[in-house]
Amino acid sequence: MPSSKVRLAAGIAAGISIAVFGSAALLAAPSDTITARQTNFKAMGQAMKGIVDEMKTPAPNMAVIRTNSDALARAAPHVVGGFPRGTGPEAGVKTQALPIIWTRLPEFHRDAAAMVTATRGLQAAARSGDIARVRVAFGATGGSCKACHDVFRLKE
């Protein structure tokens, strides 16, 4: 094949794979998307608990705090992508996501971004090894979770 045709074929193949991957997210069943985001949140809750449990001890284990803050910082950026339209209560599966998420998206996105920033701060504090810094950063992170939950999550 002349090289121009090879390039064309490669370009078409790339276009197809973009189309396939781009639509995969849209085609995922809403219930799968909801389960995936809840699993991610559960991991975040576990990581927060792992940190607070250490902070309560007389000699907090920094390695444990670091591992959990790393897990939290890894999970946090996935939150915002877990809420495509059609994954609210209308999906017919159990979810605490309130419909106002999709009428107040800019605010929801701001809350998610603030939380990502807070988890990075907590990760940096854990890496510094300074428990006083960890406590402050943990408070800020917890506040960033609560800010969103107060508005956008159904209370149990």
Name the segment binding ligand HEC (CB under 6 A); options: 14-22, 23-31, 52-60, 141-149: 141-149
CB of 23 to ligand HEC, least distance (A): 23
Q: Are 97 and 154 in contact (CB under 8 A)?
A: yes
Residue 48 sits in the site that holds ligand HEC (CB under 6 A): yes
Name the segment binding ligand HEC (CB under 6 A); options: 4-12, 32-40, 51-59, 61-69: 32-40
Pull the structure tokens for residue 13: 């193949």
Per the listing, tokens 């605490």 go with 96
Residue 65 sits in the site that holds ligand HEC (CB under 6 A): no
Residue 125 sits in the site that holds ligand HEC (CB under 6 A): no
Rg of the Cα trace of the chain? 20
The CA distance from 77 to 59, in Å, is 31
Nearest to 35 by CA among 149, 110, 43: 43
Binding residue for ligand HEC, selected from 30, 31, 41, 50, defined by CB under 6 A = 41
Binding residue for ligand HEC, selected from 71, 108, 123, 134, defined by CB under 6 A = 108
DSSP SS3 for 18: helix
CA 22 to chain centre: 20
Binding residues for ligand HEC, rule: CB under 6 A, are 34, 37-38, 41-42, 44-45, 48, 79, 95-97, 108, 111-112, 115, 141, 144-145, 148-149, 152-153
